Amino acid sequence: MFYKYSTILNTVFVTFMYGLALPELFPIAAFTFLNLYIVERLLITYYHPKPPMYDDKLNNAAIQLLRWAPILMMFFGYWCLGNKQIFNNKVNSIEYSNAPIVTSHSGLPDGGPDLPLLVMGFVFLLYLLFKKPFLFCFRKCGLFGKDEPMALNENLGSYFECVDPWSSKLWYAKTLYCENQLGMRTMDEWQLSMLASSRTQKKSMKEPCNYEMLSNYKYQKLYQYTPIELRDTVEESTISESLEKLLNIGFLPDDLELDFLRDNVSLRMKTSMSNKLGKMFDKEKLLGKQ
């Protein structure tokens, strides 16, 4: 990202510095920025799988540097437009070929087209150097208002009012199922009452509406978890309930937590013993055939 900002800064400063002497730099810079904009949009859309995460520090630093580009344009433009041979058609003759050429081009203004650039250059320079005192005086005179933080109010309502009705019903049913069937309470009374009584506003969140892993379809497919409304067999209920307890083991009471851990350890031991016995039986069967 930094080299893209360096390209933008280089183009802007070169164009502003020599633009009045070489006017064709302005359309070249415009084409450069148009090309950069189109290419970046295409790369973000079709090439980058996920845009890199940057904060606004780099962008703010580039904007602070770009403020000095008009200063260069004013002062270098003042020097270019002050050339008397170009705009006043004033040429000093020389007597010998080896004599130095006198251009009569000095740094003093003569009231030509260069004078406005000089005045505006000093105005911009003083503003950038003494910006805070100027703003303070302007605010005291009532010319500028105070910098107040932007208030964003989208009228979204509370969190529970932003959950869509179907997700709210599934979440409520799942909470009651975990509390009554699994002995695991994941919500207090206030949260449960808010989930049951809140009405969804016009704007609602898309699924999943919380940070539970099992609310995400990708994790459900990965862990072979079956939601409550889709369970048809005992195997689906057993696997899903065990996964629910494992991921929310912190909500289980101490006695149920110990029972759950004990059952899983014994199940692992039984599974490992059956696997070993199966391998031994396969070896004996193979030796019998030989």
The predicted-structure confidence for 224-268, as pLDDT tens digits, reads as follows: 888 888 888 888 888 888 888 888 877 777 776 666 666 654 545
- pTM exceeds 0.85: no
pLDDT at 148: 64
The sign of the CA dihedral 181, 186, 191, 195 is negative
- Residues 51-73: pLDDT tens digits? 667 778 888 889 999 989 999 99
Rounded Cα distance between 236 and 220, Å, is 12
pLDDT at 114: 81
Rounded Cα distance between 230 and 154, Å, is 36
- 28 CB-near residues (< 8 Å, 6+ apart): 15
108 pLDDT higher than 60: yes
Alpha carbon 126 to its chain centroid, in Å, reads: 35
Rounded Cα distance between 136 and 47, Å, is 47
What number of H helices and E strands is found in the chain?
A: 12, 0
- Residues 129-168: pLDDT tens digits? 888 887 788 778 877 666 666 666 677 778 888 888 888 8
- Which candidate, 165, 125, 162, 132, places its Cα nearest to that of 147? 132
- Which candidate, 252, 206, 247, places its Cα nearest to that of 225? 247
3-state secondary structure at position 142: coil
Average pLDDT for the chain: 79
82 pLDDT higher than 70: yes
Rounded Cα distance between 167 and 160, Å, is 11
Rounded Cα distance between 3 and 6, Å, is 5
- Judge whether 242 and 173 are in contact, CB under 8 Å: no
| Backbone angles phi and psi of 5, in degrees to 5 | -65, -35
- Long-range CB pairs of 236-245, under 8 A, 24+ apart, other chains included: 241/181, 241/182, 243/214, 244/178, 244/182, 244/184, 244/214, 245/182, 245/184
Residues listed for the chain: 290
- Long-range CB pairs of 279-287, under 8 A, 24+ apart, other chains included: none
The sign of the CA dihedral 119, 122, 128, 131 is negative
